[in-house]
């Protein structure tokens, strides 16, 4: 047992408050990681706002990076001192994991969203009472985390923690949607709706594999400018006439549209921006969306729902790191760092749109 500092949420929608807590030693297949950075994602805010009251107080955070301090007795392939990125939890045994699609693990809910391990225990406690954790298998809004070995990916020691952290979710979600699911041909057109961390990760991946044109859509002017500097051929503000403008820019409609906002109106307009037999990838958390079925049928549209970029993190995160090393995935250009104790300021910056990817540093 060790004393740690954790950002605790006491009730749905309550602010994050940094407090002392106690963390158990790792079990046989678990790893103790001292955090050096943790990305802040819209998913953290969305889930914290709707989290079941019975599972509070709770520690969120799911884009951790750090160094291994200890490993359980049965852990293989990791050792104390390793630099690592933390990612989502998966069982490794179900049919989806066996097929190298762990993002669709049949045990995903219990492993990532139950407030603890799959046996209903939490490694964290506070003043002798349980502190719910295990968010995406990690709860990285803390100075230390105990994580199952499957959720830990070794990274090069020279990779900045502020770059390693977003790879665990936002980076691989956006880039993986393009590289693992859509797999566009060079010269094909791709539109990204929403130029946040996920959308810009998709944009960078599309540019890296030679999509042309790549177009970004976002209401924030600074994000449109950033998209252009990252290789977008055009960056538009949303509004009336958007679908027509996108069809003109892409010569009759995009081959691929990546929708990251989860807003029903934006999702519906995305279909209008596609060419016949185009593909729409849905990434944003959202509610119910209605489509004109005849419109989908007439155009032969393919709709993809994608979680975590449909990636196998142990394979895919090293691929993204290699792209970053070649200057083709400059994730660091999206990042603004904040001291961990100033998590409230980071949340405010994400909500007002002034920062694309806040990363807490320890």
Structural domains of the chain, with CATH: 2-154+330-361 (3.90.180.10), 174-307 (3.40.50.720)
What was the pLDDT predicted at 282? 96
Give the number of C-alpha atoms closer than 13 A to the C-alpha of residue 42, restricted to the C-beta side: 20
Residue 2 CA to its chain's centroid (Å):
29
What confidence tens digit (pLDDT) does each residue in 142-198 have?
999 999 999 999 999 999 999 999 999 999 999 999 999 999 999 999 999 999 999
And the tokens for 168? 């665990």
Please state, rounded to an integer, the average pLDDT across all residues of the chain. 96
- Count of helix runs (H) and strand runs (E) in the chain: 12, 18
What was the pLDDT predicted at 240? 82
Residue 286 has pLDDT above 80, yes or no: no
And the tokens for 300? 């032969």
> In 3-state terms, what secondary structure has residue 224?
helix
Residue 287's pLDDT band (cuts 50, 70, 90): confident
Q: pTM for this structure?
A: 0.95
Q: Percent of the chain, pLDDT > 90?
A: 91
What was the pLDDT predicted at 293? 87
Mean pLDDT calculated for residue range 354-360: 97
CB 104 within 8 A of CB 113: no
Residue 317 has pLDDT above 90, yes or no: yes
Judged on CB neighbours under 10 Å (0-12, 13-18, 19+), 298 is exposed
Q: φ and ψ at 88, to 5 degrees?
A: -65, 160
Helix (H), strand (E) at residue 313 = helix 313-325
What confidence tens digit (pLDDT) does each residue in 17-40 have?
999 999 999 999 999 999 999 999
Judged on CB neighbours under 10 Å (0-12, 13-18, 19+), 344 is middle
Buried-state track 174-197, b at ≥16 Cβ within 10 A, e below 16: bbbbbbbbbebeeebbbbbbbbbb
Residue 82 has pLDDT above 90, yes or no: yes
Residue 70's pLDDT band (cuts 50, 70, 90): very high
Distance of alpha carbon 307 from alpha carbon 284, whole angstroms: 9
Distance of alpha carbon 136 from alpha carbon 146, whole angstroms: 12
And the tokens for 116? 């603890």
CB 147 within 8 A of CB 136: no
Residue 291's pLDDT band (cuts 50, 70, 90): confident
Cα four-point dihedral sign 169, 170, 172, 176: positive
Cα four-point dihedral sign 144, 147, 149, 151: negative
CB 281 within 8 A of CB 304: yes
Q: Measured at the alpha carbon of residue 17, what is the angle toward residues 126 and 58, in degrees to the nearest 5?
A: 50
């Amino acid at each position: 047992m060790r004393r740690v500092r954790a950002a605790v949420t006491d009730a749905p929608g309550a602010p994050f408050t940094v407090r002392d807590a106690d963390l158990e030693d790792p079990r046989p297949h678990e790893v103790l990681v001292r955090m050096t950075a943790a990305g802040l994602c819209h998913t953290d805010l969305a889930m914290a706002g709707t989290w079941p009251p019975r599972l509070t107080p709770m520690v969120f955070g799911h884009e951790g990076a750090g160094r291994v301090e200890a490993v359980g007795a049965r852990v293989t392939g990791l050792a104390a001192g390793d630099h690592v990125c933390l990612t989502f939890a998966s069982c490794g045994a179900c049919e989806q994991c066996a097929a190298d699609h762990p993002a669709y693990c049949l045990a995903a809910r219990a492993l990532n969203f139950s407030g603890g391990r799959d046996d209903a225990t939490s490694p964290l406690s506070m003043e002798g009472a349980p502190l719910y954790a295990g968010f995406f298998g990690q709860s990285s809004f803390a100075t230390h985390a105990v994580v199952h070995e499957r959720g830990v990916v070794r990274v090069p020691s020279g990779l900045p923690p502020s770059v390693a952290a977003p790879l665990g979710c936002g980076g691989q979600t956006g880039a993986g949607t393009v590289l693992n699911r859509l797999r566009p041909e060079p010269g094909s057109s791709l539109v990204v709706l929403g130029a946040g961390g996920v959308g810009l990760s998709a944009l960078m991946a599309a540019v890296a594999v030679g999509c042309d044109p790549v177009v970004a859509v976002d209401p924030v002017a600074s994000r449109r400018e950033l998209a252009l500097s990252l290789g977008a051929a055009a960056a538009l503000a949303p509004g009336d006439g958007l679908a027509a403008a996108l069809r003109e820019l892409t010569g009759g409609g995009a081959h691929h549209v990546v929708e990251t906002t989860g807003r029903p109106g934006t999702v519906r307009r995305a279909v209008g921006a596609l060419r016949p037999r185009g593909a729409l990838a849905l990434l944003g958390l959202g509610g119910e969306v209605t489509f004109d079925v005849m419109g989908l049928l007439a155009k032969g549209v393919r709709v993809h729902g994608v979680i975590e970029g449909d990636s196998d993190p142990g394979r895919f995160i090293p691929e993204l790191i290699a792209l970053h090393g070649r200057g083709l995935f400059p994730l660091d250009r999206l990042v603004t760092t904040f001291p961990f104790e100033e998590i409230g300021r980071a949340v405010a910056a994400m909500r007002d749109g002034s920062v694309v990817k806040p990363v807490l540093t320890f």
